Amino acid sequence: MKKINGSTFNLEVADQETLKVEIANRIKIAPFANYSLNGKDPVLPVATPYTHKFEKGSAAADPTPSFLSVRVTFAEQGGGSFSIRITGDQGGDVSTFNYEQAGAQAEEQVNYIVNVA
């Protein structure tokens, strides 16, 4: 995986590369996170990484660009924070995003664009 133009939120993966999304440094967040990749919305425990193998040129091919969203819900009215770490199984860059809850904010959604090379 590589970050396009150094952007944390604009990523490129190779055909057949598996992307792994981890929510780390979890402070005062709910036990589940919502992920959305091109309209498919799995809900997973925050401690469970989300993975997806990107394909190009087959019946199950992923669109390029693909759109990935990660939504984290805060468990309290303040003091929450988390980090999102995205890696590819073929090496390359690591995308890291750190977030601190703003006031009594209920949730935060982080969006990524993923291009399949």
Provide the pLDDT confidence category of residue 52 given band limits of 50, 70 and 90: very high
Please identify, in words, the CATH class of the domain defined by 2-116: mainly beta
Distance between CA atoms of residues 16 and 56, nearest Å: 7
- Supply the pTM of this predicted model: 0.94
Q: Provide mean pLDDT across the span 47-61.
A: 91
pLDDT in tens, 83-94: 999 999 999 999
